[in-house]
Amino acid sequence: MFTGLIQQTGTIAARSMNGKAGKLTIRLKKPLEKPEMGESIAVNGACLTLEQSNGTELVFHVMEETFNKTNLGSLPAGAEVNLERALRVGDRLGGHFVSGHVDGTGKILSFERVGDDMELRVELPPHIAGFLVPKGSIAIDGISLTIASLSGSDFTVRIIPTTWNETNLSSRRGGDLLNLEADMLGKQIRYQLEAMLGSGTKKRELTMDDLIRAGF
């Protein structure tokens, strides 16, 4: 479990495949305090298992599906990635609950400066659209952000200067793919309500009226 608050960034040093799994090596910008082999670390929002660390680099075991479903399989060497260690009991939850299981990727459509902030517009994959709501939470490359606007084909988020400067977003460009994870609480509510509304194998789409009747 993660919070979507990025602790530091690193860069991709190497990537390799061996059958259905591979290795991903991340070069750190600053040493990781007491790394533990086998611990979970979110890399661009994807939960990975740490296999090795020499103080300056982290080596992760990565399944083929993770490379295929996230941007970790296509980012070039030297690309900047966001890093967050798993939440521990007693840690402060400052963002929102992030599982580290990426739902898909969306293409950057535009960046626009709005005052001191940046507005990011992202392509919305159809299979994720049903889990998003305006002012709801979404993890973008592992960063906890609030949806500012939402349409059928895209959505926008506002990025404050601190987030812009301390994550990989300032290094991304139009057309780049971003890892997306919808709010897990919203997904659970939708799954449960659709199961309740379904009858046998025949189900209907969840509507706003259904949510209101259920007390949301």
The predicted pLDDT at position 193 comes to: 72
The Cα 27–Cα 12 span in angstroms is 6
Write down the H helix ranges in the chain: 64-69, 126-129, 161-166, 184-197, 208-213
What is the distance of C-alpha 146 from the center of its chain? 13
The Cα 120–Cα 111 span in angstroms is 5
How does residue 212 score in pLDDT terms, banded at 50, 70 and 90?
A: low
Report the residue count for the chain: 216
- For CATH 2.40.30.20, the residue range(s) in the chain are 8-85, 104-188
The Cα 76–Cα 15 span in angstroms is 9
Residue reference for tokens 């963002």: 95
The predicted pLDDT at position 87 comes to: 85
Would you say residue 29 has pLDDT above 90?
Answer: yes
Contact criterion met (CB below 8 Å) for 107 and 122: yes
Options 2.40.30.20, 3.40.50.920, 1.10.10.60, 3.30.460.20; CATH for 8-85 is: 2.40.30.20
Would you say residue 42 has pLDDT above 60?
Answer: yes
Between strands 104-114 and 177-182, the pairing is antiparallel
The predicted pLDDT at position 187 comes to: 76
The predicted pLDDT at position 199 comes to: 47
Average pLDDT over residues 3-21: 94
Sequence-ordered list of residues with C-beta below 8 angstroms from that of 33, at least 6 positions apart, any chain: none
Over the chain, what is the mean pLDDT? 90
Average pLDDT over residues 59-85: 97
| 185: three-class secondary structure by DSSP | helix
Between strands 177-182 and 137-140, the pairing is antiparallel
- Tell me the pLDDT tens digit for each residue of 170-210: 999 999 999 999 988 777 777 777 777 764 445 556 666 66
Average pLDDT over residues 124-144: 94
Give 133: exposed, middle or buried? Use CB within 10 Å, 0-12, 13-18, 19+.
middle
Residue reference for tokens 């517009």: 121
Give 2: exposed, middle or buried? Use CB within 10 Å, 0-12, 13-18, 19+.
buried
Contact criterion met (CB below 8 Å) for 58 and 41: yes
CATH top class, domain 104-188: mainly beta
The Cα 150–Cα 11 span in angstroms is 31
Residue reference for tokens 């521990």: 88
